[in-house]
Structure 1
Amino acid sequence: MTEGHLTSFHAAAQQGPRPLPLFLSLLRSETAASPERREAALAGLKAYQQAERPPERVPPPAIAESGRARLRDYGGSGPPVVFVPSLINPPFVLDLAEDNSLLRWLAAQGLRPLLVDWGSPGPEARGEGLDHHIARLLLPLIDSLGEPPLLAGYCLGGTLALAAASLRPVRGVATIAAPWRFVRYGDPARAAIAAQWEAARPTCQALGLVPMEVLQSGFWQLDPARTVAKFEKFAAMAPGSPQARGFVALEDWANGGAPLTYAVGEEMFERFFAADRPGHGRWWVGGTRIAPSRLACPAIEFISATDRIVPAASAAGLPAQRILRSGHVGMVVGGRAQAELWEPLRDWLIAAAHTR
């Protein structure tokens, strides 16, 4: 984690869900007919705010940097795998805890995982859009390795990884819960997303940034009942139990994260969700049209049929697919993650690394 990520991480831990007033409003509406549920959810929220956190973890060393981005080395001696996280939420969901880390596990499985840490943009970066993140931040990190790596991208990071694989020679690319055909979100969801952006845009334009709160509120609206129910459930957990520690770690991640630059927010909401440029084959980066059908390397996508953040239908349609049923975040850190995602991903990456 960068200093910016640590700051937002601990702010979230102290304050609860971001933005807290909106969460409380959602809580009131969802529990209007059940004061008992509201009381339980508030007890869970208080327990979360007061839960003991483990000592700060020191992030792995950076072996390369480009602008504010860093490439962090998780060890291992096998083929390099550059993991591209989403620009939304911190990257450490792929290294959530000592006993729940996809990256540390892969480092012991004959691979060398390397994590892109995007850093935290300031208002001066307002004009740095997705093309900038790919061409000026991601590609130089890949080039620094001196050999074609494997790529693996999570969520929007998978979308960016597909672009990078179109612009540089790589051994293979795997995406995890990555959106591509944004029209497949469906008209009601896209209309709600457009309305949210229309309301937030003036403030974001003035700031030069899209705060995490704007995105978090959108995630809650996808499944407000679950947002409340998880705190009801947490209220019943034994403090300090493995289950409770896992909840706190994951919730701290969900409530953390650097803002997006204004340009990234504008492109994501208008070019991707509204116009679906990737899905319609109209996404160009540096004069190259980005299209999964034009990839010159092995490619696979891991999709969750129960994903409420990135619907399975929005996937790119790569030649190889693996369908899971663990949810958007659960597929990476849930109880079945090792069997359903980690092990198949490891096997595919090792096989792709030795494909000529």
Structure 2
Amino acid sequence: MPLFLDLLRSETAASPERRAAALAGLKAYQEAPRPAPRTPKPVVASAGRASLRDYGGSGIPVVFIPSLINPPFVLDLARGNSLLRWMVRQGVRPLLVDWGSPTPADREQDVAAHIEQLLVPMLRALKRPPALVGYCLGGTMATAAACLTPVAGVASIAAPWHFEGYGDALGPMSDLWDQSHEICDALGLVPMEVLQAGFWQLDPRRTVSKYERFARLKPGSAEARGFVALEDWANAGAPLTFGAGRQLFDEFLSADLPGRGQWRIGGKAVGPQALDCPSIGFVSLTDRIVPAATAARFEQNVELSMGHVGMIVGGRARAALWEPLAHWLRMLRRTR
């Protein structure tokens, strides 16, 4: 909250009216009713603190890999707006990776260790090689995992690979890590607030204006409920391990090891160029969280004009992303 209020003060310094509207929207969001939590899906495999949750269906097994940042339930956001539940009806058996919550004892686990020690063992526990669908950093991790163990195919959604593509945003991100490094090292974890502050800096105007807009919505309307569900996801999430934060900031954002073809896991080079399975990449030309310039090139590439989160849960998501992804997965099944 203090971080948001600092951002609010700077963005609305010349407009008390905007500040009042945003504060009204923030208050309405905080007081909005929430539905009862849904029962978690059953676990079919686990490794360490991570688990693989089964959404049912009898089609091709597809492991959906969310980012380490924010909870996995954006892929199952709400009734009527769930990519995973919709996929069940498309001849797909979705399995969702739940990364769990790290503790300071996990401090040395970097992104590569999450792949090698948590993700790959769960993939190998399945009866047949699954297809992988990774979102955001989960797409980066899916691409790397597919270089380490047999999979039926890889789909990457809004995933960074060429981190130098962040351009001018790299400076503020580097400054944020410099300011947070010492306390994160002491904790053994990177609190969600540190990461959230980085996202807000990418588009501070929108961070404030969305609450101004929410203040004008009819309480309890479908649009208002959708906003609350999405904001609850965006404001939640377990911390990162210190090792994952250090690798993300130092080796990815600063040194761009993946983009330069120098990221190795267990001594093996990983990247789109090393894949020996069908692959497809979905990238948005208007994504401000993961700009198009950071995207890798795959066997097939689909360009969208939607926001980073909108391509998963927005009003046009089904036609623009869900349906093409389901079609690719069905075609994958026919060719195996």
Aligned letter for 2:61? P
Question: Which secondary structure does the structure 2 equivalent of 1:197 belong to?
Answer: helix
Aligned letter for 2:294? S
Question: Which secondary structure does the structure 2 equivalent of 1:151 belong to?
Answer: strand
Cα deviation per residue 1:254-300 (whole Å; 9 max; x = unaligned)? 00000000000000000000000000010000111002112110000
Cα deviation per residue 1:143-167 (whole Å; 9 max; x = unaligned)? 1112111000000000000011111
Counterparts of 1:138-287 in structure 2, within 5 Å, are 138-186=119-167, 188-287=168-267
Q: Is 1:326–2:298 an aligned residue pair?
A: no
Q: Is 1:348–2:328 an aligned residue pair?
A: yes
- Would you say how many aligned residue pairs link Structure 1 and Structure 2? 336
Which one of the candidate residues 42, 47, 50 is aligned to 1:69? 50
Cα deviation per residue 1:15-46 (whole Å; 9 max; x = unaligned)? xxxxx111111111111111111111000000
Partner residue of 1:97? Answer: 78
Q: Distance in 2 between matches of 1:183 and 1:41?
A: 34
Q: Is 1:41–2:46 an aligned residue pair?
A: no
Aligned letter for 2:301? Q
Which one of the candidate residues 276, 282, 288 is aligned to 1:296? 276
Contact 1:150–1:353 (Cα < 8 Å) also in 2? no
Question: Which secondary structure does the structure 1 equivalent of 2:161 belong to?
Answer: coil
Cα deviation per residue 1:175-227 (whole Å; 9 max; x = unaligned)? 000000001111x2111111110000000000000000000001001111100
Q: Is 1:28–2:25 an aligned residue pair?
A: no
Cα deviation per residue 1:224-271 (whole Å; 9 max; x = unaligned)? 110000000000000100000000000000000000000000000000
Aligned letter for 2:189? L
1:313, distance to aligned residue in structure 2 (A) = 1.1
Aligned letter for 1:21? P
Cα deviation per residue 1:282-327 (whole Å; 9 max; x = unaligned)? 0000111002112110000000111000001111111211111111
Q: Distance in 2 between matches of 1:164 and 1:87?
A: 14
Q: Distance in 2 between matches of 1:326 and 1:244?
A: 20
Question: Which secondary structure does the structure 2 equivalent of 1:327 belong to?
Answer: coil
1:99, distance to aligned residue in structure 2 (A) = 1.1
Cα deviation per residue 1:42-101 (whole Å; 9 max; x = unaligned)? 000000000000011111111111100000000111000000100000000000001100
Q: Is 1:133–2:153 an aligned residue pair?
A: no
Aligned letter for 1:314? T
Point out 4+ residue stretches in structure 1 off by more than 4 angstroms: none
Partner residue of 1:15? Answer: none
1:132, distance to aligned residue in structure 2 (A) = 1.4
Contact 1:85–1:157 (Cα < 8 Å) also in 2? yes
Q: Distance in 2 between matches of 1:272 and 1:121?
A: 21
Q: Distance in 1 between matches of 2:271 and 2:158?
A: 17
Partner residue of 2:318? Answer: 338
Q: CA RMSD in A?
A: 0.7
Unaligned segments of structure 1, at least 5 residues:
1-19
Aligned letter for 1:53? R
Q: Distance in 2 between matches of 1:113 and 1:34?
A: 47
Aligned letter for 1:345? L
Q: Distance in 1 between matches of 2:150 and 2:171?
A: 38
Question: Which secondary structure does the structure 2 equivalent of 1:160 belong to?
Answer: helix
Q: Distance in 1 between matches of 2:12 and 2:182?
A: 32
Q: Is 1:86–2:64 an aligned residue pair?
A: no
Question: Which secondary structure does the structure 2 equivalent of 1:97 belong to?
Answer: coil
Question: Which secondary structure does the structure 1 equivalent of 2:144 belong to?
Answer: helix
Q: Distance in 1 between matches of 2:134 and 2:169?
A: 24
Aligned letter for 2:271? A
Aligned letter for 1:85? P
Q: Distance in 2 between matches of 1:325 and 1:299?
A: 21
Question: Which secondary structure does the structure 1 equivalent of 2:34 belong to?
Answer: coil
TM-score (norm 2): 0.99
TM-score (norm 1): 0.93
Unaligned segments of structure 2, at least 5 residues:
none
